[in-house]
Amino acid sequence: EVASGHNMSGHHHHHKHRREETTFDGSNYVKVEHIKVQGLDKTKNDFVVHQCKDLFNAATFKDVILSCQEVKQKLEQANIFKTVSVLIDTSKGPGVGKDGLDVIFKVKEGRRYSASAHTAIGNNEGSLVLGGKVGNVFGRAERLSLEYSRGSRQSTGYNLTFSKPVFNELSKRLTVQGFKSSGEYLLSSFREIGRGAYVDYTFPGPLGLQSLRWEGVWRELSCLTRASSFPVREQCGHSLKSSLKHIFARDTRDEPVCPSRGYLVKLSQEFAGYTGGDVKFVKGEGELQLNQYLFWDIVFSCSLQGGLMKAMDGNQARINDRFFLGGPTDVRGFNFRGIGPQDSGNFLGAESYWAAGVHLYSPLPFNPGKGRWGDLFRMHAFANAGNLCNVNLDNPNFPDQLRKLQENVRWSYGAGMLLRIGRVARFELNYCIPKAAQPTDSIVSGVQFGVGVSFL
């Protein structure tokens, strides 16, 4: 007999004189006769119907319970309801069999308008973000948001973003954004201002999450000082980039910031100049991360990243499209973007790179605060390596060009402590020992700290 305490926020009601007719062992065949949703205000019926329709396929009482749980999770995932509860009752009325059930969802819509002030963390930078949001704009889980951000490295930006589920499917989302951003890159001695828009469609594929994006951006580069080198000066001015980008990601990690098991595979391809603009290149990047729990809360992790690009207009790629390497979030023991070709102290980036790292994570010594604040901290020992250089993909001797990536490899090792900031970012304080570097690299020997959302 089913009690009311199954793993949902719901109850099963039956009447005393029908007790025998409504006694189930979970495998009894039942039929969902009606689904009712109570408490809708701005939300459209067709959106809710789409989330609930699979309930009619439930054939046993156990199926009904599981399907109700899935629907409840979908409605909560839409981020438009403050509360969602479920009620399962026997059906009544003419033409209803004794195995008929009614499922009633009781919802309470959340506030549509909200304002916020919070801090956000990007790689090696923290930002103050002010914004406002309108939820459930047209009644189908659409979101409209306006944000302004100011970063710790003189970056500023604002954006207006609209996103909506595609065909009422919460796992498929269309996003349109208009933005303006500016940032300063001290070691490269230039400032960039970008004004543009993008359209992004994200959807689940058979192997992982897929994303298709078009982006158009008008970019303005200027020198930070009068001492900026000539290769930086000749890049200054305006450019218009229009690109198509595809991203594939398969992530089985138990959490993104300090995973203890699982893996991440991420591949991206970008094609610029084929939909307009005066910037033309092809770029590909890949990332692989493996995590393995060992014993005593000790975790072994290894990661590999790489990228390759080619300018298609016969020139070298522009400095704001090239790859950069170095810093506390990738090859530790070097300054942020402080590896690779440079001129007069200004780092210029390059058209190919690779980076690899191995880590051994452990709890704090003697496990203070275990199960509480102590779980936010981890100790780790690491070794990182990488290289950044230009390769000539037009050269018929292609393997020799790629061999450049094996020359002058930079590597470092060290140990430190990290602090998990929620489930989105982490802070690292490390002691780094660079073991192989070029005379022109900008190294950090000793204490280095960094904050970011993704780490090598």
Q: Does residue 384 lie within any of the structural domains?
A: yes
Q: Are 293 and 260 in contact (CB under 8 A)?
A: yes
Domain ranges, residue 364: 241-264+282-452
Q: Does residue 125 lie within any of the structural domains?
A: no
Percent of the chain with pLDDT over 90: 44
pLDDT, one tens digit per residue, over 199-231 is: 999 999 899 999 999 999 999 999 988 888 999
Q: Is 436 helix (H, G, I), strand (E, B) or coil?
A: strand
pLDDT, one tens digit per residue, over 410-441 is: 999 999 999 988 788 888 999 999 999 999 99
Q: How many domains does the chain have?
A: 2
Mean pLDDT for the stretch of residues 39-47: 88
pLDDT band at 33 (very low <50, low <70, confident <90, very high): confident
- Is the pLDDT at 8 greater than 60? The verdict is no
Mean pLDDT for the stretch of residues 140-154: 88
Q: Which of 60, 89, 109 is the last residue of a domain?
A: 109
List the single range of 67-76, 191-200, 355-364 with lowest mean pLDDT. 67-76
- The CATH number covering residue 93 comes to 3.10.20.310
Distance CA 286, CA 306 (A): 5
- Is the pLDDT at 66 greater than 70? The verdict is yes
Q: Does residue 235 lie within any of the structural domains?
A: no
Q: What average pLDDT does the chain have?
A: 86
User: What count of other Cβ atoms lies within 10 Å of the Cβ of residue 61?
Assistant: 21
pLDDT band at 13 (very low <50, low <70, confident <90, very high): very low
- Is the pLDDT at 7 greater than 60? The verdict is no
Distance CA 321, CA 216 (A): 14
User: What is the pLDDT, as a whole number, of residue 24?
Assistant: 54
pTM of the model: 0.83
Q: Does residue 199 lie within any of the structural domains?
A: no
Distance CA 199, CA 215 (A): 7
Q: Does residue 222 lie within any of the structural domains?
A: no
Residue 350's Cβ-side half-sphere holds a number of Cα atoms within 13 Å equal to 24
Q: Which residues pair with 176 in a beta bridge?
A: 162, 199
pLDDT band at 304 (very low <50, low <70, confident <90, very high): very high
List the single range of 16-25, 30-39, 161-170, 266-275 with lowest mean pLDDT. 16-25
- Is the pLDDT at 20 greater than 50? The verdict is no
Residue 68's Cβ-side half-sphere holds a number of Cα atoms within 13 Å equal to 31
More confident residue, 1 or 325: 325
User: What is the pLDDT, as a whole number, of residue 237?
Assistant: 92
List the single range of 233-247, 320-334, 370-384 with lowest mean pLDDT. 370-384
- The CATH number covering residue 395 comes to 2.40.160.50
pLDDT, one tens digit per residue, over 77-131 is: 888 888 888 888 887 777 777 778 888 888 898 888 999 887 777 766 778 889 9
Mean pLDDT for the stretch of residues 357-383: 87
User: What is the pLDDT, as a whole number, of residue 6?
Assistant: 32
Q: Which of 79, 109, 139 is the last residue of a domain?
A: 109
Give 99-149 as a DSSP string.
Answer: TEEEEEEEEEE--SEEEEEEEEEETTEEEEEEEEEEESSSSSS-EEEEEEE
pLDDT, one tens digit per residue, over 370-381 is: 777 878 889 999
Query: Do 305 and 447 fall within a single domain?
Result: yes
Mean pLDDT for the stretch of residues 341-369: 90
pLDDT band at 406 (very low <50, low <70, confident <90, very high): confident
User: What is the pLDDT, as a whole number, of residue 387?
Assistant: 94
Mean pLDDT for the stretch of residues 286-291: 96
Q: Which of 87, 109, 131 is the last residue of a domain?
A: 109
